[in-house]
Amino acid sequence: MNYQRHSGDPGFSGRAEVAVVEEKPNGAVAPWARVLLVEDEADIRELIRYSLAQAGLEVEEASDGAEALDKLRAFVPDLIVLDLMLPGMPGLEVCRRLRSRADTARLPIMVVSAKSSPSEKALGLAMGADDYVSKPFSPRDLLMRAIALLPQR
């Protein structure tokens, strides 16, 4: 079998992907939803914010757990993206507190962390996280997994 791919092939993915993106107004790929993003590292926070916002999600940012819990008094998100290694209150404690509060008990939580050993992952899921993304991550992968956690409308 000597099959060579070229741009005229129906199986060539480059053109097809461009076409799909162009058909989406404003580049939106996510249903409208609000996300609370908790991450202390500004460049990683910006990377995640940009990926989510470009897909049409409204993103509120917090740089630590205390700020996140404070913002939740006025802001009701559809998803929380939560870093585990935060200054002050650890991400797992934020996770535990969210699960113990009636208004956030069922809120989808995506943990994002460089702590990716099996025990850390298991602990994160045991604390009530719905998904666990290891750093470094692909922004596209993180976006798709975030969309999967959003409530069906």
Residues in contact with Ca ion by the rule CB under 5 A: 40, 83, 85
Least Å from the CB of residue 85 to Ca ion: 4
CA separation for the pair 87, 120 (Å, rounded): 18
Nearer residue to Ca ion within complex by CB, 85 or 123: 85
Taking CB positions, which residue lies at the least distance from Ca ion?
85
CA separation for the pair 134, 90 (Å, rounded): 16
Nearer residue to Ca ion within complex by CB, 87 or 151: 87
Least Å from the CB of residue 33 to Ca ion: 24
CA separation for the pair 149, 27 (Å, rounded): 20
In the sheet that holds 109-113, the strands lie side by side as 58-62, 34-38, 79-83, 109-113, 131-134
Least Å from the CB of residue 44 to Ca ion: 7
Nearer residue to Ca ion within complex by CB, 40 or 130: 40
| DSSP-derived 3-state class of residue 89 | coil
Q: Among all chains, which residue has been given the structure tokens 């162009």?
A: 22
Nearer residue to Ca ion within complex by CB, 33 or 86: 86
Least Å from the CB of residue 6 to Ca ion: 45
